[in-house]
């Protein structure tokens, strides 16, 4: 085999080896980011699913008891997210700005937890009007949080 043919063959093999993980979808995130991303993402899915269930479940007093375990699951998910660091924080190079960003995220999660506790209280009291107000406030909080703390 000639030298140019051998170089061509080796470069083709190298290209195939380097592109295999990308083409197969098995590219892994760096060790620390994968876990953070997964904890927040999985728990946010729980909250999003709970919000979907509550949208329908808070309209009728008969359905309110079924909303309680959903709200508790959402509270647990919010608690798990609260102590995590959003992925976007890594893109902030200034330490003070990053610390402020993380603190604002945590304060937002605390405010969300308060709304969830108030919603639980309104469900127990059977106050449909208050439930609707708190659901709307929770939805607005969720939207604002996603706008500020995610790059989606």
CA distance 81 to 40: 5
32-149: which CATH number, 1.20.120.10, 1.10.10.60, 1.20.120.420, 3.30.565.10? 1.20.120.10
For each of the chain's 152 residues, which pLDDT tens digit applies?
676 665 565 555 555 556 555 555 544 545 555 544 569 999 999 999 999 999 988 999 999 999 999 999 999 999 999 999 998 899 999 999 999 999 999 999 999 999 999 999 999 999 999 999 999 999 999 888 888 888 76
Domain spans of the chain? 32-149
pTM, entire model: 0.72
């Amino acid at each position: 085999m000639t030298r140019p043919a051998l170089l061509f063959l080796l470069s083709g093999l190298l290209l195939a080896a380097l592109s295999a993980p990308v083409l197969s979808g098995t590219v892994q995130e760096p060790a620390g980011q994968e876990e953070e991303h997964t904890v927040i993402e999985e728990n946010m899915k729980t909250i999003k699913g709970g919000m979907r269930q509550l949208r329908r479940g808070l309209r009728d007093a008969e359905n309110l008891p079924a909303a309680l375990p959903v709200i508790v699951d959402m509270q647990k998910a919010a608690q798990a997210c609260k102590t995590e660091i959003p992925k976007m924080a890594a893109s902030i190079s200034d330490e003070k700005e990053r610390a402020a960003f993380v603190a604002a995220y945590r304060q937002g999660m605390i405010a969300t937890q308060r709304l969830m506790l108030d919603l639980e209280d309104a469900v127990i009291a059977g106050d449909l009007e208050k439930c609707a107000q708190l659901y709307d406030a929770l939805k607005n909080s969720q939207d604002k949080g996603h706008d500020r703390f995610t790059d989606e």
